[in-house]
Amino acid sequence: MDLVVPAPAPPATTIDEVIARLQAIDDCLPEGDGVACFNRMYLGVTQDVDQRVKAGFFVNPSFVSRLDVVFANLYFEAVDTLSGTPDAYPAAWQPLLAARTANGLEPVQFALAGMNAHINHDLPLAVVETCTELNTEPRSGSLHEDYQRVNELLAAAEQSVRQSFEPPDVVVVDQHVAAVANIIDNWSICAARDVAWDNALALWDVRGLRIASQLLTGALARTVAMASRGLLVAV
């Protein structure tokens, strides 16, 4: 059976276009598809960020808006490789894209693996690209403060994803549930974003050193892929 593949699209240029593309991917993919499990969560977070930008929640809304778009386009680039062969998948995304229809995995595992790839790998690259475009730097002004404010939204999204699998008022006695809970408890979105910020600073500091930048980016992709494989263990 042929797998459903979202139609490629030009890079987004606004948050509205990001939301439209995420919605199109959601409409296209089966509910149980591993990419769809992540995409649903990402759509909700992006809609929340959009509302907060318009409500004046961020100190520098222009930076947050542009970062949101650059960040999302890296995910869309990964999704667009689904129309090719697995060897074309970006290294950081390969575990999730390859396992999207695998048996024995819970939606929460797919969602967290997507968050891992997008935050730990794509986010540092997006911060560097956005700062370069806007002629600023990560340590400037309110950028880190706004970054932390996005953390609040993502932490709430992560908690919702976890609770959809294991409601807090339910005692875990099922061995399968307990095993999956043990896997996902080893990953935290707030910790991931703290590491992502440090990696963004490191990438920024070596941006003019081609070989060092390539080595750091390659090592980052491999490390992120390893973490995703740990999240995508069937139990």
> pLDDT tens-digit profile of 114-166?
999 999 999 999 999 999 999 999 999 899 999 988 888 887 877 777 776 65
- pLDDT tens digits for range 217-233: 999 999 999 999 999 99
- Tell me the two tokens of residue 202: 């490191």
Average pLDDT, the chain: 90
Amino acid letter, 206: V
| H runs (alpha helix) in the chain | 15-28, 34-55, 61-80, 94-98, 107-116, 123-133, 143-165, 175-184, 189-205, 210-231
Helices 143-165 and 107-116 meet at what angle, rounded to 10? 160
The pair phi, psi for residue 142, each rounded to 5°, is -95, 10
- pLDDT tens digits for range 2-42: 678 898 999 999 999 999 999 999 999 999 999 999 999 99
Distances (CA, A) of 178 to 18, 49, 202, 209, 234: 36, 33, 37, 46, 13
Helices 61-80 and 15-28 meet at what angle, rounded to 10? 30
| Residue 1 pLDDT | 43
The whole-model pTM stands at: 0.92
- pLDDT tens digits for range 167-182: 454 444 466 667 777 7
- pLDDT tens digits for range 60-81: 999 999 999 999 999 999 999 9
pLDDT of 235 over the 90 cut: no
| Residue 166 pLDDT | 59
What number of other Cβ atoms are within 10 A of residue 213's Cβ? Answer: 17
In the predicted model, what is the mean pLDDT of residues 86-109? 95
| Residue 33 pLDDT | 96
- Among residues 85, 96, 90, the alpha carbon closest in space to that of 36 is found at 96
Distance CA 50, CA 70 (A): 14
pLDDT of 189 over the 90 cut: no
